[in-house]
Structure 1
Amino acid sequence: MADKQDLNAGFTGTPVEQPEGLARVAQTAASGVKREVYAVTVGARDHPHTASALLLGIGIVAFGFGYLLGRSSAESLARSYWR
């Protein structure tokens, strides 16, 4: 049977050379996003009522904002059409 040192020929899970430049920035950003998503999911799991109320509130505000933008766009379009 071979030693553990002899089995280094395959993929070990970590690259031999550390990424540089854009690859390093992308890897750092991806790990940061993963940490933040994990933190949000843990918070939502610990406080499900707060998370659902927050999500519902954001949805209502987004709907209202979109409604107001659409209404103002329709009003300005109607005025410019008749001129």
Structure 2
Amino acid sequence: MKFNPEVCDGCNICVDTCPIDVYIPHPQEGKPPIVLHPEECWYCGCCVVDCPRPGAVEFNWPLQQRGYWKNKETGKTHQL
């Protein structure tokens, strides 16, 4: 997960909404939060959904990386 500093205004809604406390507020006001425990993230998406600034928080869910299937009839591979 990462923050886009051009979009994030440091409101810290993601800090408050994260059920795992992955983030902590940045010591400087107006800066994106610090990702303190990225390995503990559940990828629930609360931070992305609750953020009032679309595109401020970005991350790839691990299952999105694996979401491929192969059509038996055509042999083509598709991503979900």
The bucket for the TM-score relative to the shorter chain is under 0.3
TM-score (norm 1): 0.22
Rg larger for: 1
TM-score (norm 2): 0.22
Structure (1 or 2) with the greater helix fraction = 1
